[in-house]
Amino acid sequence: MNPQEILSQMTLTEKADLCSGADFWHIPGVPRLGVQPMLVCDGPHGLRKHIDSAIQAGFYEAVSTACFPPSACMANSFDVALEEEVGDALGKDCQAEQIGILLGPGANLKRSPLCGRNFEYFSEDPYLSSRMADGYIRGLQQNGVGCCLKHFAANNQEYRRLNVSDVVDERTLRELYLASFEYPIKHAKPWSIMCSYNRINGTYSSDNRWLLTDLLRKEWGYEGMVMSDWFAVNDRIAGIKAGLNLEMPGTDHDSNRQVELAVLEGKLSMEELDSVVLDTLKILARLPQWPENATLPWEKDHALARKAAAESAVLLKNQDGVLPLWDNQKVAFIGAFAKTPRFQGGGSSHVNAHNVTNSWDAAQGRFASLTYASGYDLSKDEDDSLIPAAVETAKRADIAVIFAGLPEHYESEGYDRTHLNLPPCQNRLISQVAAVQPNTVVVLMGGSAMVLPWRDEVKAILYLCLGGEAVGEAAVDLLTGAVSPSGRLAETFPLRLEDTPSYLDFPGHDDLVPYHENIFIGYRWYLARKIPVQYPFGYGLSYTSFSYANLRLSQSTITQGEAITATVEVTNTGSVPGAEVVQLYVADHSGRTSRPPRELKGFAKVFLQPRETKTVSLELDWRSFAWYDVQLSDWYAQGSFEVQICADCERVLLWAPVEAVSKIQRPLVVTRNSTLDQLLPHPVAGPAVRKLFAKAGITDEKLTHPDGHTLPLDYPIRNLRYEAQLTIGELEDWMEKLNQSIREAESCCE
């Protein structure tokens, strides 16, 4: 199939018909010209393929499929290779079910832990999110099927998501919310991208030419297709002009007739229409030859889901080494989640899981005795009637393992959480059990951060997040030590909702959502404000221990366009095998702009036998040090930095200095309100100001002496006319000549 040749043979009606879905789940084809439609399917952690693939149906009216851990859980693994392995498995499942594009992954950031869809997103950090998304896409698309990276962009809440306008400055967009998409788009090249429901600074994503064309296609070089989120289109003609290829789902051809009419009336050019149609034809041309008699590899998928869940779990506490459990212990499993686990989120990503396992069944025969008490009713948040029996069960055991967390109705697509608390009955259960059983372990399930008021009362806390269909077996693998926990938190667990960065602005008012926290979301906020948290970003314990030594950099200076390699030696100093997450952060000490104390810029997961040492290498490019300078419309770094190897975002283990040297000079425009501290360091403005002062008898030595400034450094040059005895006109003339000299110098350097 030659897309350009097909386009040349299409009628206006056929072109218009290719601008929206054929039905709820199909990209339309061009039957007359032999172009077949393509099936798309909800994901991202399984296939939500409806039995009747042309209509929207209930969540359980879908084919049975493997359910892998959602993105929030996988991000805790800090393991791109593992994410790629899961993507590969999903790609093979798509092949078996003849699905052309899987709708995922979601790369939006967790601006607030209240977002009801956080379980579907990777992290609060754009570096971690972008790398995990990249691994997923590469893994899936190597099978000849496509991803649809979503939701582009800044879809960070569910409340009034079809209406709200995110009021966010360009630097914040570039460094955080767009950066989470930029890397996988440039490197993994997803077949398609899904634009979000919300507006960005007043413009709907589906109408946003700056977003979909100027940035995505022209600046980032994207060559795929952009489809709308379901029912996200505001204005179909404006969308085509902006670069939106496909409206989903199909709308009984009503909007297609609008497209035809717009062309006939001259409101939409044929060139504009051809451009979006050609992109879609290029995707349809990739429709593979489906394998014959393919079946879903249930056992292989389940084994991978079990591995992924275990390697993504985070051990938050393990006092006195209470974990792992011993075979000869009398163990009590308490909590409804022990038999009915929470393993995925609600909404469009909810899949009909093929083989859900629970910890009660998986633990049979593993201990001297195993007893159970439900402890709480999943549908009743305030009911304490089951607690007394659970307390008695705990008393008779050597150790009590309480399975707790967020019930399904607490978090879902379509609405946001209103608090960070567990159901009150679960909190009371944990406290009352811990009061009578000194060896109490809590296993947590849920898709986002929670406040744990009893964390000092229990011996151990194991956070499973939402672990997919094999979470029950994975939990037992971790509790018994068959697997040593190696996950790290991909989002901060705050002490209070009131401490969170967007607390005063989430979810906004009058459909406006101000991003007053700017670049300070997640750990960036807590570090900069020195706000204590329950558990910081990057935190996690193990059943073994690790040490670091010999941080080395390939060079101590980086110039724009270069890269630095950091190497560090990691040793397993404990007695059991385990995996360590090496975390590299960069701290900006240049003082040239407001930045967080440190930012994640590299990570690697390394498995080590006891006493084994390995050398880990991580590469840092220019963007690892740079911040987005709106004045330059480019990434800029200049001055002193520090490369830091950290245990988590709070604990620095090793560090090394780096000097960044920019090839571009930040443009300077001298105005009446420019100040001395802005002008004196400049290679052109500085000498001019000193010359002006010299005429007034103020020597350079006196001007620059650290203890003897004649004038304060924030002194505006509008007042130089008093010091230099200039008229207003003379001062204006001096500024005009100075700006001309600056422009000439900058032009020469270019």
Q: DSSP E strands: which ranges in 662-701? A: none
pLDDT tier for residue 644 given thresholds of 50, 70 and 90: very high
Exposed/middle/buried for residue 301 (C-beta within 10 Å: 0-12, 13-18, 19+): buried
Express each pLDDT in 480-499 by its tens digit: 999 999 999 999 999 999 99
Q: What contacts 617, CB < 8 A, 6 or more positions away? A: 565, 566, 567
pLDDT at 442: 98
Express each pLDDT in 372-406 by its tens digit: 999 999 999 999 999 999 999 999 999 999 999 99
Instruction: Compute CA 437 distance to the chain's CA centroid, rounded to the nearest angstrom.
Output: 39
Assign residue 642 a region (left: φ > 0; alpha: ψ between -120 and 50; beta: otherwise).
Answer: beta
Pairwise CA distance, residues 7 & 223, whole Å: 17
Task: Tell me which of 749 and 107 has the higher pLDDT.
Answer: 107
pLDDT at 692: 80
pLDDT at 251: 76
pLDDT at 34: 94
Express each pLDDT in 9-26 by its tens digit: 999 999 999 999 999 999
- Fold of the domain spanning 546-661: Immunoglobulin-like (2.60.40)
- Fold of the domain spanning 307-509+520-535: Rossmann fold (3.40.50)
Average pLDDT over residues 131-149: 98
Candidate list 93, 229, 279, 588, residue with the active-site label = 229
Pairwise CA distance, residues 559 & 460, whole Å: 47
Lowest-pLDDT range of 52-61, 95-104, 149-158, 237-246: 52-61
Average pLDDT over residues 417-425: 98
Closest to 48 (Cα-Cα) out of 292, 467, 353:
353
Average pLDDT over residues 28-42: 95
DSSP labels, 472-496:
HHHHHHHHTTSS------SS-EES-
Judged against a pLDDT cut of 70, whether residue 726 lies above it is answered with yes
Express each pLDDT in 153-211 by its tens digit: 999 999 999 999 999 999 999 999 999 999 999 999 999 999 999 999 999 999 999 99
Task: Tell me which of 731 and 611 has the higher pLDDT.
Answer: 611
Express each pLDDT in 296-344 by its tens digit: 999 999 999 999 999 999 999 999 999 999 999 999 999 999 999 999 9
Can you give the residue ranges of every domain in the chain? Answer: 12-42+77-284, 307-509+520-535, 546-661, 676-749
- Is 456 among the residues known to form the active site? no
Q: 12-42+77-284, superfamily in CATH?
A: Glycoside hydrolase, family 3, N-terminal domain (3.20.20.300)
- Give Dmax over CA atoms of the chain in angstroms: 94
pLDDT tier for residue 58 given thresholds of 50, 70 and 90: low
Judged against a pLDDT cut of 70, whether residue 704 lies above it is answered with no
Tokens in use for 144?
Answer: 């000849």
Average pLDDT over residues 489-514: 97
pLDDT at 707: 56
CB 476 within 8 A of CB 341: no
Pairwise CA distance, residues 150 & 106, whole Å: 5
Query: What Cα–Cα distance (Å) separates residue 145 from each residue in 93, 336, 426?
Result: 10, 39, 43
Closest to 74 (Cα-Cα) out of 164, 144, 139:
139
pLDDT at 681: 83
Express each pLDDT in 568-610 by its tens digit: 999 999 999 999 999 999 999 999 899 999 999 999 999 999 9
pLDDT at 705: 55
Judged against a pLDDT cut of 90, whether residue 216 lies above it is answered with yes
pLDDT at 631: 87
Q: What contacts 570, CB < 8 A, 6 or more positions away? A: 546, 547, 548, 580, 582, 606, 608, 613, 614, 615, 616
Average pLDDT over residues 95-120: 97
Express each pLDDT in 229-264 by its tens digit: 999 999 999 999 999 999 999 877 788 999 999 999
Q: DSSP E strands: which ranges in 153-242? A: 165-167, 192-195, 199-200, 203-204, 225-228
